[in-house]
Chains A and B, each alone.
Chain A
Amino acid sequence: MNKRKRLSPKSSKPKRSMLKTKYKTGERMLMKGNEALAEGAVRAGCRFFAGYPITPQNEIPEYLSWRLFEVGGTFIQAESEISAINMLFGASAVGARVMTSSSGCGISLKQEGISYMTAAELPCFYASVVRGGPGLGNISPAQSDYFQSTRGGAQGDYRVICLAPNSVQEMGNFPKLAYDLADKYRNPAMVLADGLLGQMMEPMGFTFDFIDVDKLPPKDYILTGCKNRKRRIINTLRMDSDRLEKFNWKLYEKYKRIKENEVRYEERYTDDADIIIVAYGTAARVSIDTLVRGREEGIKIGLIRPITLWPFPRKIINELASRVENFLVVEMSIGQLIEDVQLAVEGKAKIHFHGRPGGNVPTGEEVLKAVKQALK
């Protein structure tokens, strides 16, 4: 760990030299997933964090608790998740790039505030480093919060852009993508990781330069004091039903644009595949191993790894289903991603399932067995 310079929040006006990047762009280093995500967020312009501790994401607030002060930002360990998310609402309303992070249990509490931010059309970035559930569950890596992340959980017709990294490299890069998308569409965007991606160390290098927050495009909706201009109002209450309906259709159009323009996925060996594995995050890492092993034995496996879980890469899966007979969904849950795959396949192909819930991570061999079983 580099030497930590601690500054008190009161003297947090940053010195010019401190705004410089900590790491050179492209410099390879060994980093922990959670720390890469935290540093990636700071590089991408995060200047406000409020959160509440929970394993397995504690390295994120721990890192930001000293790092944010170096760049003139604010770190708050709130008294609860609910107050943390509402602090983000306020900080986003005045224009900061804001962030929080948690695991499933904490995200549940934060979803109320996230719904309010979609209603106020305020951008924010949050990370969910998933542990086993339901309830308190355990602290091992899991993918059981797919529904929670892609289907919301709080009130109202709303959507959140959801990015799923599968390496420390992507943990470091995705905060910037999330902030850019959140600002572009004025909507919360999240990174969905798990305990394994958060805790592991791997070589990585940031692929984007340290962003000067003063040079980000100005926002014409934030509250900065209305002297010499018309006042702005940020509000989530729309009592008149016609007014609310109009707003709902506005969101509909926005979400439609996101679905048309922001789908991201990784495709491997789908051209000649007899079976296609659909998996994201850690399960996709394991499935790449399966793919290599299978191909060595002459089994033609292909892989679709959704990178955006919402918007879901529906079109490509639907197209592949027209010519590939078998799909295998691999996830660390009892089956959540599989429902999106079913919707995308539209009954055109057989869908098989291999799940490992409870905090266990499948192995490449184990998934290969499931592939063979599916092709029988």
Chain B
Amino acid sequence: MKQEVIIAGFGGQGVIKAGVLLATAAMVEKKHCTHFPSYGAEMRGGTANCSVIVSTSEIASPIVTNPDTVIAMNEPSFDKFQPKVKKGGLLIYNSSLISKKPNRNDIEILAVPANEIAEGLGTPKSANMVVIGAYVAKARPVTLKNIKSSLPKVFPGKEKFLAVNKNALDKGTELV
């Protein structure tokens, strides 16, 4: 089993942290995993992304060029990464912020109104958790249980948001 995913959005949407959560859950499951962020000369307000690989065997390079899954949280990321999804792969996009329609017909597509759902829960910042919930339910790189149990590790000292994050994850899984 090997799952490659690129999570992309603008700075502040929690795309890097969402990747860390995914990798931590993989570690809990004793799987091999890598997390590689875009780094360095990034623009404020520009796009941020990270590549996560979860695998049952050793991982050579953490760089992902043609991912099994792309999670696009904003329009520039959608434009940049939609063409890169592997044939037969999965595209999850944040339909709250992306008005364009996907133009690929050789991949599976899942529209998630992540911001609306997160706002409905009273915590707009949990949009990243909504898409992670949807991704985990769809592609099953790790179990939802391990995602939830990894939350305190990834967000230490933020126990008050634990319930909200779990809620957002559940809302995401319900979409699949």
Contact = CB atoms under 8 A, between A and B. Distances in A.
Given A55-B40, A199-B37, A364 B61 contact: yes
Interface in B52-101: 57-58, 60-63, 65
Contacts of A202: 33-35, 62
A55 B61 contact: no
Nearest to A282: B61
A288 B40 contact: no
A222 interface: no
B147 interface: no
Contacts of A364: 60-61
Nearest to B57: A292
Interface in B97-149: none
Interface in A165-204: 195-196, 199-203
Nearest to B37: A199
Interface in A287-343: 288-289, 292
B23 A199 contact: no
Is chain A's binding surface mostly helix, strand, loop or mixed?
mixed
Interface in A19-46: 28-30
A75 B65 CA distance: 39
A199 B16 CA distance: 12
A361 B27 contact: no
B26 to A, nearest CB: 8
Nearest to A360: B63
B35 A361 contact: no
A361 B61 contact: yes
A207 interface: no
Interface residues of A, number: 25
A199 B20 contact: no
B155 to A, nearest CB: 10
A200 B60 CA distance: 12
A135 to B, nearest CB: 16
A241 interface: no
Contact of A55 (B34, B39, B63): B39
A196 B36 contact: yes
Contacts of B33: 30, 202-203
A285 to B, nearest CB: 5
B34 A200 contact: yes
For the residues of B in contact with A, the DSSP-based class is loop
A203 B27 contact: yes
Given A55-B39, A139-B39, A2 B27 contact: no
Contact of A1 (B34, B65, B156): B156
A196 B62 contact: yes
B20 A30 contact: yes
Nearest to A291: B60
Nearest to B40: A139
B23 A289 contact: no
A202 B65 CA distance: 19
Contacts of A55: 39-41
A56 B40 contact: yes
B156 A201 contact: no
A56 B20 CA distance: 19
B62 A200 contact: yes
B157 interface: yes
B24 interface: yes
Given A3-B157, A282-B61, A200 B27 contact: no
B51 to A, nearest CB: 9
Given A2-B156, A56-B40, A361-B63, A288 B58 contact: yes
Contacts of A3: 156-157
Nearest to A285: B60
B34 A201 contact: yes
B60 A286 contact: yes
Interface string A198-216: 0111110000000000000
Contacts of B157: 3
Interface string B29-46: 000111111011100000
Given A30-B20, A201-B20, 18 more contacts: A2-B156, A3-B157, A28-B27, A29-B27, A30-B24, A30-B27, A55-B40, A195-B39, A196-B62, A196-B63, A200-B62, A201-B23, A201-B35, A282-B61, A285-B61, A286-B60, A361-B63, A364-B60
29 contacts: A1-B156, A2-B156, A3-B156, A3-B157, A30-B27, A56-B39, A139-B40, A196-B36, A196-B61, A196-B62, A196-B63, A199-B37, A199-B39, A200-B34, A200-B35, A200-B36, A200-B62, A201-B35, A202-B33, A202-B34, A203-B33, A282-B61, A285-B60, A286-B61, A289-B58, A289-B61, A292-B58, A361-B61, A363-B60
Interface of B: 20, 23-24, 27, 32-37, 39-41, 57-58, 60-63, 65, 156-157
